[in-house]
Amino acid sequence: MASSLKSLVNDDDRYQKSFQLFLERSSEHQCMQDFIHNKLPDILASIGDGKSHLNVIGVGSGAGEIDLEMLSELHKKHPGVMVDNEVVEPSHQQLYNYKVLVSQKPDLDYIKFNWNTMTASEFEEHWKAEKATKKVDFIHMIQMLYYVKDPEATIRFFQSLLGKNGKLLIILVSGKSGWGKLWRTYRAQLCQPDLSQCVTTGDIKSFLDSKGVRYQSYELPSQMDITECFTEGDEKGELLLDFLTEVLDFSNTASPELRAGVLEMLRHPDCSVESNGKVIFNNNLEAIVLDQLS
């Protein structure tokens, strides 16, 4: 990545602003909720092996809205079962928001929350240092593998924690999404070498296939209105461009050639469709479910 371009993750305040705008402009959470309420219950039905206590780990849990929806579905499938829930989230602000959300929700007595203000790799080090031996029934990694150095090693570690009938759920942008096309074209210019920001489910499935690891996958259709990106100087458009490129202040720090190329790519039929004066980006996600290592 050119040294003049800084990653958006270096400025948590701007990252959170652009992320919130992304959620407003996209159907990201809706497509996840459709999956959680319609597909996940069947996946969760087989975990636990009749135990009265389930161990869950959420990696990169953010502010917890999605976590609590998944835990609710888990509770419906396994009523009366106690849940030990490890929350792994490096952002103090997001973890605080999660705790506030928990304090406002009734009927969570069946969950014991353990808060870990750390990255996935820090949690791995902590787990190994503690020589923890407990096996985990359900682990979820939602939209977080972009922020680790080695997604394959991260998946291998967390999959190794699964107990009998345990499930590991990974949700990332689909390799067939607009993100996939954008990243395949501009990976060298946009992606930080020490992070795997430009990873899609296409990359993960290639790795799993090469190792002969079996998995189930589910496409989650989603879209995002990026019309404002094409109005120069539009404040919201600039925030969305930062989010799409993962570059801090992209419009003002990228070369004119790179900016023009990215904007042209975002309009390309492989990335977006134009309808009624709006540019609608293909934000499709994909869920991958892994079992215990055999």
Annotated binding-site members for substrate:
28, 283
SS3 160: helix
DSSP 173-229: E-TTSHHHHHHHHHHHHHS-TTS-TT--HHHHHHHHHHTT---EEEEE--EEE-GGG
Q: 3-class SS at 90?
A: coil
CB 290 within 8 A of CB 213: yes
Binding-site positions read 28, 283
Q: Measure CA of the first residue to CA of the last residue in the chain; give whole Å.
A: 38
Sequence length of the chain is 294
φ/ψ (deg, to 5) at 81: -90, 135
HSE-CB at 195 with a 13 A cutoff on CA atoms is 19
The residue type found at 139 is I
DSSP 255-285: -HHHHHHHHHHHHSTTTEEEETTEEEEE--E
Distance CA 264, CA 7 (A): 21
The dihedral over CA atoms of 62, 67, 69, 71, expressed in degrees to the nearest 10, equals: -160
Chain centroid to CA 168: 13
- Half-sphere exposure (Cβ direction) of 203: Cα atoms closer than 13 Å: 21
